[in-house]
């Protein structure tokens, strides 16, 4: 819940500008990007995702560093990814 | 167990450690509090304390949102979950937190179906799909998760949903830091500011710590190097006789935070006059509840709650651990009656709780130090 996990914006969602599709460690899910609506987000950008919301835009280098760090955490990151897999935000 | 030497940039870590050591004046004791449980996790996991001179101590703060939920609120949530037609939803981290009569998992083994969700938006989606159910979301967390609850409430209102409710338990970090600064138990020399919370609130809210209490604050990232560099920045300020708020995690944390997130919180929630923090007691203006305009979504208004205060188990010393007065291993039940499998106190529940982090990683490091000192 407290982990911010990096996701790459890979798609938009028709008629729902608040939502976007991200790829997080091979998991593809919809998240809410409304908290970054002042950031001019584009496909290919990386964001830190907290409980289904993009909370900050980060560089690709930072995203890779965070992913490597999260992988080193083991169980907490696995739990978060498993929870994300179950997510069905619409 | 991984140490910094196994981590990337091990040379930079060692260089930072020696720069920190050079700034430490012999005979002076330094105590820094890392406010955030994520930092505590990194510190123990990577054995960072072994890289600091003996006169620098890291004190683990109250920034684990699961750890500060009082038992009475767990009981209230279970009471709501028992009402007819109710589906209670919660983050997974909350499921093992003990209440007066067991955790959500214990309750599910008896007569409830409290369901784990990844996001409040998942709870909202269930409410949308299942109009016959009253779906309640157990909202917990600091300012990192409060915007997600706020945005979900705004969405629920816009959609006109009548069967979605929030049981708000959001807490705010600044009053907890102030309570610790005002506590006579503890003398601190500076703070590692929480990374993700600051993404939302920015760095300005910490300025009172430097201005009114004369202590430096460095908002820190979560990797071992971030933490070592932040400790170096704290030591540098002290050695130069300065105290200010600095942002080590600028690659993620904007100085002014996230204005959209702050606005969403303000639109939907207001400060409670006081709130009980597990182990810390009642802290003034330290938690959020829903605004009147959202009363129809407020589980506290829609359901009748027992609202009973449940005292922590006598053997549990989470309060002293959360204030940093006791180290986890100094608690009487640590590692014996209280383990991650059978937690008595909340600090042992979350992987970010100081006791769980120490139980899982730190005790090996401590054994290693003890063995080294014997040799």
Inter-chain touch A2–B65, beta carbons under 8 Å: yes
Inter-chain contact A87–B119, Cβ cutoff 8 Å? Answer: yes
Per the prediction, chain A carries an average pLDDT of 92
Q: Structural domain boundaries of chain B? A: 4-64+185-247, 71-172+257-302, 318-374
pLDDT tens per residue across span B124-183:
999 999 999 999 999 999 999 999 999 999 999 999 999 999 999 999 999 999 998 998
CB contact under 8 A, B65 and A32: no
Confidence label for B373 from pLDDT (cuts 50, 70 and 90): very low
In chain A, which residues have their Cβ closer than 8 Å to the Cβ of B93?
Answer: 1-2
Smallest CA–CA distance, residue B6 to chain A, in Å, is 11
Q: What is the ipTM of this complex?
A: 0.95
- Write down the pLDDT at residue B370: 42
pLDDT digits 0-9 by tens, B278-304? 888 899 999 999 999 999 999 999 999
**Cα(B234)–Cα(B224) distance, rounded to whole angstroms?**
16
- Asked if the domains B4-64+185-247 and B71-172+257-302 are classified in one and the same CATH topology, the answer is yes
Q: What is the pLDDT of residue B363?
A: 60
Considering only CB atoms, B260 lies closest to which of A35, A51, A75, namely A35
Say whether pLDDT at B226 is over 80. Answer: yes
Whether pLDDT at A1 is above 90: no
> Band of the pLDDT at B2, cuts 50, 70, 90?
very low
Place of tokens 């790829």: A23
Q: What is the pLDDT of residues A33-43, one digit of tens each?
A: 999 999 999 99
- Architecture (CATH level 2) of domain A5-86: Roll (2.30)
Indicate the average pLDDT of chain B: 91
pLDDT given at position A17 = 93
Write the DSSP string, A33-87: -GGGTTS---TT-EEEEETTEEEEEE-HHHHHHHHHHHHHH-HHHHHHHHHHHH-
Shortest Cα distance from B145 to chain A (angstroms)? 7
Of A3-7, A73-77, B294-298, the poorest mean pLDDT is in: A73-77
pLDDT at B7: 52
With a CB cutoff of 8 Å and minimum separation 6, the contacts of B314 are: none
Q: Which alpha helices (H) appear in B93-172, and where do they start and end?
A: 104-110, 120-129, 146-159
CB contact under 8 A, A59 and B251: yes
Q: CB-CB: which of A2, A38, A89 is closest to B122? A: A89
What is the band of B1 on the pLDDT scale with cuts at 50, 70, 90? very low
Question: Residue B316: what pLDDT?
Answer: 86
Nearest Cα to Cα of residue A64 among B118, B223, B352: B223
Which residues from B are below 8 Å from A88, CB to CB? 122, 125
- Convert the pLDDT of each residue in B188-215 to its tens digit: 999 999 999 999 999 999 999 999 999 9
Mean pLDDT of B218-242: 96
Measured between CB atoms, does B119 come within 8 Å of chain A?
A: yes
pLDDT recorded at residue B374: 43
A51 contacts B119? CB cut-off 8 A: yes
Residue with tokens 């802290």: B283
Mean pLDDT for B95-123 is 95
CATH of domain B71-172+257-302: 3.40.50.11740
Torsion of CA B89, A53, B127, B141, to 10 degrees: 30
For domain B4-64+185-247, the CATH class is alpha beta
């Amino acid at each position: 819940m407290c982990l911010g996990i990096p996701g790459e914006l890979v798609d938009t969602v028709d008629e729902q500008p608040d939502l976007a599709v991200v790829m997080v460690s091979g998991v593809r899910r919809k998240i809410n990007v409304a908290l970054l609506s002042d950031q001019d987000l584009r496909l290919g950008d990386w964001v830190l995702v907290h409980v289904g919301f993009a909370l900050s835009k980060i560089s690709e280098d930072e995203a890779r560093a965070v992913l490597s760090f999260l992988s080193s955490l083991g169980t907490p990151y696995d739990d978060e990814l498993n929870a994300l897999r179950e997510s069905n935000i619409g | 167990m991984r140490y910094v030497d196994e981590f990337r940039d091990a040379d930079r870590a060692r260089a930072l450690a020696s720069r920190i050591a050079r700034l430490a004046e012999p005979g002076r004791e330094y105590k820094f509090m890392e406010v955030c449980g994520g930092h505590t996790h990194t510190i123990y996991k990577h054995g960072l304390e072994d890289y600091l001179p003996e006169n620098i101590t890291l004190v683990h703060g109250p920034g684990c949102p699961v750890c500060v939920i009082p038992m009475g609120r767990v009981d209230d949530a279970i009471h709501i979950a028992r009402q007819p037609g109710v589906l209670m939803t919660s983050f997974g981290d909350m499921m093992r937190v003990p209440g007066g009569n067991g955790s959500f998992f214990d309750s599910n083994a008896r007569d409830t179906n409290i369901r784990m969700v990844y996001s409040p938006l998942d709870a909202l989606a269930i409410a949308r799909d299942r109009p016959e159910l009253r779906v309640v979301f157990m909202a917990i967390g600091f300012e990192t998760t409060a915007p997600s609850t706020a945005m979900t409430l705004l969405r629920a209102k816009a959609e006109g949903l009548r069967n979605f409710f929030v049981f708000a338990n959001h807490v705010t970090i600044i009053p907890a830091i102030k309570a610790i600064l005002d506590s006579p138990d503890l003398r601190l020399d500076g703070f590692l500011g929480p990374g993700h919370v600051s993404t939302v609130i920015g760095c300005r809210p910490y300025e009172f710590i430097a201005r009114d209490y004369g202590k430096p604050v460095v908002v820190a990232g979560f990797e071992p190097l971030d933490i070592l560099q932040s400790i170096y920045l704290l030591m540098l300020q002290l050695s130069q006789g300065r105290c200010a708020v600095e942002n080590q995690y600028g690659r993620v944390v904007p100085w002014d935070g996230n204005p959209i997130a702050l606005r969403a919180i303000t639109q939907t929630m207001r400060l409670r006059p006081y709130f009980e923090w597990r182990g810390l007691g009642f802290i003034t203006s330290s938690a959020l509840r829903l605004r009147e305009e959202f009363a129809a979504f407020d589980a506290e208004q829609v359901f009748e709650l027992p609202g009973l205060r449940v005292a922590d188990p006598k053997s549990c010393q989470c309060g002293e651990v959360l204030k940093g007065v006791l180290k986890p291993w100094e608690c009487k039940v640590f590692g014996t009656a209280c383990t991650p499998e059978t937690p008595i106190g909340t600090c042992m529940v979350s992987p970010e709780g100081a006791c769980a982090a120490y139980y899982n990683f730190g005790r090996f490091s401590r054994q290693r130090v003890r063995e080294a000192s014997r040799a």
